[in-house]
Amino acid sequence: MIPDDLEALALADAVGALDPDERRDLAERVAALSPEARAVVARLYDTVTAVTASVEPVTPPSYVRERVLAAARTPGRYTLSGANTADWFDTPFTGIRARVLAVDKAAQTATLLLRAEPGAVYPSHHHHGAEECYVVRGSVVIDGRTLHAGDFHHADADSDHGEITTIDGAEVLIVGAIEDYLPGYQ
């Protein structure tokens, strides 16, 4: 599943309705998606190509483009199903997978779920922005303190901390800087 606004932009792009800046922004958003979500976007393009090849071209009035783009820019809402495992991806750290729940480009933050298998280690790291960490299930050890389901940890921007470990496994909700969790995301 992809956000509705991203779907609308991809469909608008597939029919040539985006300007170069809009196309670049769309390409950056698509590049940050999981491989499965990128496949959904690719199928949208394939479907539009098949449909447009079967009809006579018509130039729509200019107001149509503006209405489509206005709808795509309207603040949106979306819901992700917890049952959908396709959105999870492997991180560079053994035994730790992640799922992007939301990205706020204006605030430069990402909201993610991290799943750590028993014994997994998240290495020492630096925070470019503030980080909020809520333990959903299991337990993690941060700065020598064990946090259990329901516990919360905050780290200020420009702070550092050592390894984060889990003995029994954990699922943790993270809100942190895009730069820290999705490097290369624009």
pLDDT digits (tens, 9 = 90+) for 24-46: 888 888 888 888 888 888 888 88
Contacts of 96-105 with CB under 8 Å at 24 or more apart are: 96/120, 96/122, 98/181, 100/32, 100/33, 100/34, 100/182, 103/32, 103/178, 103/182, 103/185, 105/178
Provide mean pLDDT across the span 90-115.
90
Q: How sure is the predictor about 62, in pLDDT bands with cuts at 50, 70 and 90? A: confident
Residues 60 and 102 in one domain: no
Confirm whether 83 is domain-assigned.
Answer: no
Give the residue, 1 or 74, on which the prediction is more confident. 74
Q: What is the mean pLDDT of the chain?
A: 86
Answer with the one of 73, 104, 134 that is the final residue of a domain: 73
Distance of alpha carbon 159 from alpha carbon 176, whole angstroms:
12
Q: How sure is the predictor about 147, in pLDDT bands with cuts at 50, 70 and 90? A: very high
Q: What are phi and psi of 173, to 5 degrees?
A: -90, 125
Distance of alpha carbon 17 from alpha carbon 11, whole angstroms:
9
Q: Which of these ranges, 13-22, 95-104, 150-159, has the smallest mean pLDDT?
A: 13-22
Count how many domains the chain has: 2
Do 119 and 166 meet the contact criterion of CB atoms below 8 Å apart?
A: yes
Is this structure's pTM higher than 0.75? Answer: no
DSSP state of 109: E
Confirm whether 79 is domain-assigned.
Answer: no
Residues 96 and 177 in one domain: yes
Provide mean pLDDT across the span 96-120.
91
Residues 68 and 111 in one domain: no
Q: How many CB atoms lie within 10 A of CB 16?
A: 9
Which pLDDT score, from 0 to 100, does residue 183 have?
76
Provide mean pLDDT across the span 59-67.
82
Q: How sure is the predictor about 11, in pLDDT bands with cuts at 50, 70 and 90? A: confident
Q: Which residue segment(s) compose the domain that 156 sits in?
A: 89-181
